[in-house]
Structure 1
Amino acid sequence: MTTSSVTSSALPPGGFGNGIFRAYVNGRERPGAGEFTVLTGERNPAGPGRDVLYGKGVPGTSFLRVADLGTGRVYVQGQLLTHADEVSLDPSVRSVRVSEAESVTRWSVTDAFDLEQRVTVSGTTAADSRVTVTTRITDVRTERHRFRIEYLWDTAVAGDDGPVVQPGAAGASFRPFEPVDSTEQTFERSTGDLAVADKYANPGSPTFAVAVSGTGNARAVPDQVQFVCLAEAVFAPIGGYVTDPARDISSPASDCRPPTGGPDSGLLLLWSRDAAEDDATVAAVLRMSPAAPYASTLRAGPVSLSSATATLTDTATGRPVAGRGLVFTSGGRVRCTVVTDGDGRATCDALLGGLLGYDVDFAGDAIWAAAHAHGGLPRGAEEGGGGEA
């Protein structure tokens, strides 16, 4: 629940996925059977091994809770029991099966209900990849009960354990230049997407965002999605957390912190289902947002006394892109790697030989596509751009 990121390109062993996302799940032999977490895969445009849910590939702080409203008992995935009515699901686990694309965890609560959780990674590209978490309750009693189902997700996007959120229409893309929420929020029966993005852990403009939503089936829409102080939400009764829209849970000044580490925001997704009326199945989906990086443009200026400035902008809006590394090359050698400032500019002061021309490159990421430009003498300076919207 503290700030984390994987700096090595090597992913932790185990898990399953499709190259865009990689999920890791606890087996039945471990406490918290079926608990899972998610990293970016080796082909994710954000780079491999970056947190989507907290844990660096080790499950533990994102979990499921199920309240049986007929008996008053609350069944918790894992060992964090904070109220007298809570019972761990661990003694009831029947199996945990993991394949190349999904995990299936099953529990059987004696003389009450069977529970199944599926974590599925689907798709082949960043645009169509999804992590879908489906929970199904089968009441085995003659008189079937009503249930409350809660997902607690410890979002930690790209090393930012206090990410911000941005609501949007269903299927909408994260909009990096538009407002975001860094305070607690409650979204009632929203059919749209909620983008979760890094902001404070990485300098400059956001580097990575994912969207969280129901599955698109109107019956699967959560009754409520809350953007919460996760460090406190883990101790609240199921369905009992009250958000405070004035409370900052994301910025460095936030008081929403675990005993160690920085701001710690997360998501609570809540459903109510009546087993007598339906099969008590709920699901939530996580995907890349935007589905494909926005186009970016590089402009390379002339060289003066071995110094030159390049500017990186969003192609569609012309607005500067801050906090991105630009690589300046001349004479077959890398001369500088410089991070763009608030105006999208980066200056290299070591372009010896650059009078004959130099190249500047932005490698691209999950928000903006790669771009290239060539510069040199004023009469030979050229503009370059790259990436598809």
Structure 2
Amino acid sequence: MNDNLIYLDNNATTKIDPRVLEVMLPYLTDYFANANSTHQFGLRAHDAVKAARKQVSNLIGAEPNEVIFTSGATEAINLALKGVAENYSNKGKHIITVATEHSAVLDTCKYLESRGFEVSYLSVASDGLIALDELKSLLRPDTILVSVMYVNNETGVVQPIREIASVAHEAGVLFLSDCTQAVGKIAINVNEIGIDLLCLSGHKIYGPKGVGALYVRQSPTRVRIPALLHGGGHERGFRSGTLNVPGIVALGKACEIASLEMDKDSNAILSLRDYLESELCSIEGTSINGNVTNRLYNVSNVLFRGVDSDAIIMGLSNPENDLPLIAVSNGSACTSTSIEPSHVLTAMGLDETAAFNSIRFSIGKYNSREDIPIVVAAIKNIVADLRAMVS
């Protein structure tokens, strides 16, 4: 990591692993052929894509033919939601999701509502968890899909995915999970959990931006979704367009590394997260947002009462400081231009002021223990100065 930067915004994106970059580069230079070309150079690219598909499928316990490469999780979510809506509309037009989903899910559901579909939005408790009883009460004969993210991108709260999948399947309903923040960080087996469609993105697991994947169950019950993009029949007709071979190769390598190093990384990152929280919570008026037990090990969403989060963020990234620049966030990177409070935090019952006073810290494998005291000292100084200004 850059010596002049302490990066604690790994849920927004991650630094590419050098080993991922190493396997990616030859497919930008020497092995640049189209994977659908039938000459020798094209076949080499085709074989690289095939190997990457296996690496991705291994990480989530799927079969290679169940993996569709996309430009990222947002495209995968659109393909899954719109595809199920179109193909299963003869059964019904009712979808269930959660008020705290990523905007890629919520915005797509809003679009589907404009097309005549009905969407029910599950509420969450103050800790960010849904209630299974509410899910059961919302299921109807015309429900075609339940969509619940595995790990919340802002709070790290982990939903009871196995139980949710079971409830959906008992009602004969498909289950989609946005696993963007879960894949590569915790063990996932789509068959053991009962996930029918799963979305993931390369740049969240130390791969490049612009590549992701959608898992679509093919066995024992085949999930059928139509193509969103037409023009060549690539990816078995699911998604036309020349394959991003360098990105796909990189995604495969990132998945392979994650499968081998997940346990080691999780232990180290959890230690850093707990250290950070213990120090930050010594600041008066500070508390953790979300369930502190059912939570991913790398995320801490902290409320600094009476202090605007944007002021903290600007203070930490002020180049005039004699400290490294410190990168944190106050919500999802995909909604960072919005002046609205976090929809995740307000859905959990925080008022707008508290939501605007909250910071997300997301730790990655390139952070070190030496980073924590620097970050804590900087935040203590900024919080004290900001509170003094309004006292």
- Structure with the higher helix share, 1 or 2: 2
TM-score by length of 1: 0.25
For CA contacts below 8 A with separation 6 or more, give which structure has more relative contact order: 2
Higher strand share: 1
